[in-house]
Amino acid sequence: MVFLEIFAWAVLTWYVFVISLIIFGWITIWFIKSKNRIHDEKDLTEALPGVSILRPLKGLDPRLYECLESTFVQKYPKFEIILSVADETDPAVLVAKEVIKKYSKVDARIIIGDERIGQNPKINNLIRSEREAKYDILWILDSNIWISQGCIKRSVKSLMTPGVQLVHHLPVCIASSSRPSVGSCLDEMFLSTFHARMYSAINRIAVTPCVIGKSNLFRRISLLSRAPKGLKEFSNYIAEDHLIATTLWTRRKSHFMAAEYVWHPVDNIRISDYITRRIRWIRLRKYVVTVPTLVEPFTESILSGFLGVWSISILSNFRHAYILWIIHMFVWMVMDYTQFNILRSSLPSEIKDDSNLTPCCYNFFHWICIWVLREILAFPIWVIGISGSQIYWRNQTFTLRSDMTAQIVY
């Protein structure tokens, strides 16, 4: 009986920790929202350092033209854009050429042909871009990411803060179809609730690297001082974003999560596509951050609620535990709903005014249905993810190894 009580106290402590982290992440997102406003551009001067924006392309990502175009309209005195693609027959080439033609005054070019130096196709695609980039500051920006005007200037200013080695952004998913599929709504729900909150909280606490490779700025000289071969050092690892971030992590606060978001449009994907993507993330994280991945189900709403209610019922002899669980789930849902709408209200005017990017509108019942489905799917997805080692990414299958390297399955 004594052991049971001790165990119940340990479980309750975990529950309190999870709830505290959830609340802290929610507050962090609200704080970013309060700071996420149009900044005065009058201090834009030629003294700002040049930036090489590297955008690897593969296939026709949703709203690819708009995402690429958002880079070309940046308000900054000195930058170049390098679009890279492995194969000249890739349909993304035509889109890239169209954008470059429209903005002919922008210093931009396409590099066709990768260098097969390792198992990571993204790194293979970036090697030539890294070598040919003319500026020290590199901004690796995924092709499916949209950025607001002035993002480059604010990001560079953050990078110039003493001690900061890397600047990254929280990616927010938007289901940009007028009638989005359930899969795309699930994707948006995950990235705008659980993922956004945890990502924001961990980066605010800043005791360990936590970076997703959608939008990262760093100095080439900083990377070379720790990884003499540059991006080549990471060519056999699929989780190159985490490893680059870890390499540039010198002390607490050496990474800076910018106080604005980047936007990730998604088209109509199937539920199976959403599940496959989540499984891929879990299998990657299993080897990259093992302990957090193993305990992840117990930070989700359903299981953490069961743990909290069980511990309270053991310690207090409360006989109506289901009431506490219902209250727990209701409060969690309300926090997710408000957070989702905080992120939605942060949409830049350029997205709201662009019919190709305008996100779908949820009624409350629709939102609840998607939220419930997302929460129910979380645990079975984790079970499948944690029990395997193969992932499917960009039309290729990889086998992951415990040392974080990967092998292409032909």
Buried b (16+ CB within 10 A) or exposed e, 241-251: bbbbbebbbee
Catalytic residue among 187, 241, 336, 403: 241
Q: What is the C-alpha separation between 96 and 84, in angstroms, rounded?
A: 9
Contact between 57 and 96 under an 8 Å Cβ cutoff? The reply is yes
Q: What is the C-alpha separation between 345 and 39, in angstroms, rounded?
A: 17
Q: What is the C-alpha separation between 142 and 286, in angstroms, rounded?
A: 23
Instruction: Give the residue carrying structure tokens 């049971």.
Output: 4
Is 241 an annotated catalytic residue? Answer: yes
- Residues known to be catalytic: 241
